[in-house]
Amino acid sequence: MSEAMPHTDTQTRNIRLTVAGVLLFILVVIFSFVHRMQQPRIMTTGEMKANGFYLLDTPRNFGEVQLVDHRGEPFTRAQLEGHWTFVFFGFTHCPDVCPTTMAFLNTLMQSLEGTEGEDTRVVMVTVDPARDTVEQLAQYVPFFNEDFIGVTGEFPDIYRFATALNAPFRKVPGQGEDYQVEHSANVVLINPKGDYHGFFRAPLDLGKMKGTYRSARALWDY
């Protein structure tokens, strides 16, 4: 019976390289699988609509914006570029819808993680500029979240901006100084190019909105 020949240094090295190659291949497969599992599933437009998000077929350039934020700084289209933005049209004397929506958006922002949270902004544009001065917004908006931005300006400029984003509003007549303003409760989504991307229809659902927002971002990057 012949004895097994001992491995040469070359054979041993080849075996080690083969084993290392197999292990590396397995690690790449596992990493790719985990990476895919962590990526949001891209929903169809029908699924997004079922979740309350209406995606525009073609994002809309709504032109320039000449307003002012709650810090007294100019608020232009440039402030809407380079990140995703949720825009809500409301007013500080609103008794129910506005504070509820602002609190909801704060909860949503706190639930976003990593890059999603870092490059997402929330802007509340007043539909009552006569009462919602810079000072008034500075007291109201940061109460919900210090990073939120309040925006006011001249009525024609606000009205044009709201109309471009399909967020109509009107002052309720016959109420004197303590008047209310009827307005949309939808939340508009602006993409990093500063274009109107779509909107979330009220009532808002945290789980659905978060998942659909992730899908909209993934579709944009696809």
Q: Is 183 annotated as a binding residue?
A: yes
Residues 6+ positions from 192 with CB-CB distance below 8 Å: 81, 82, 83, 84, 119, 220
CA distance 211 to 216: 9
Neighbours of 209 (CB within 10 A): 21
**In which residue are the tokens 């925006």 written?**
151
Q: Is 197 annotated as a binding residue?
A: no
Backbone angles phi, psi at 189, to 5 degrees: -110, 125
Q: Is 70 annotated as a binding residue?
A: no
Residue 90: closest CA among 158, 31, 154, 24: 158
Name the β-bridge partners of 7: none
Residues 6+ positions from 60 with CB-CB distance below 8 Å: 164, 195, 196
**In which residue are the tokens 């041993």 written?**
12
Backbone angles phi, psi at 16, to 5 degrees: -65, -40
Helix (H, G, I), strand (E, B) or coil at 21: helix
Binding residues for Cu cation: 94, 98, 183
Binding residues: 94, 98, 183
